[in-house]
Amino acid sequence: MPLAKYRWRITKDHISEGEAVGVEGPSNLDPDLSLKDGQRFRMDDDDGEVYYYGVIAGDYDGFEPLDDFGTGNAGCTSIWYWEVADGAEKGEWAVL
């Protein structure tokens, strides 16, 4: 199986006492792909409760952490990305 062109990591886990912190994906991730300048995301359930925070980098569409981990592991139904407009001092969460 070829290596994936993206990589994500869970950085905060709000539902299982931090057990998911450090979980990475996908299963065929490229270990040389750096997350240093990655995009922050969060995954929520259908009640809007935040379950996980993480970071993703590489060539991705945006739903990968949700599809690879969030939905099957915890029933997450939405993924949000932290967006900062050019020149803005603060950002905001935007749902895909």
Residue 1: inside a domain, yes or no?
no
H and E: helices and strands count for the chain = 2, 6
More confident residue, 49 or 84: 49
Residue 85: inside a domain, yes or no?
yes
Residue 47: inside a domain, yes or no?
yes
More confident residue, 84 or 79: 79
For strands 24-25 and 6-13, give the pairing: antiparallel
Residue 51: inside a domain, yes or no?
yes
Residue 49: inside a domain, yes or no?
yes
Residue 58: inside a domain, yes or no?
yes
More confident residue, 86 or 95: 95
CA 54, CA 67: separation in Å to the nearest integer? 14
**Res. 87: pLDDT tops 80:** no
pTM of the model: 0.91
Looking at residue 27, what is its pLDDT? 94
Please count the structural domains in the chain: 1
Q: What range defines the domain where residue 60 resides?
A: 6-95
CA 40, CA 17: separation in Å to the nearest integer? 20
Tens of pLDDT, residue by residue over 8-67, are 999 999 999 899 999 999 999 999 999 999 999 999 999 999 999 999 999 999 999 999
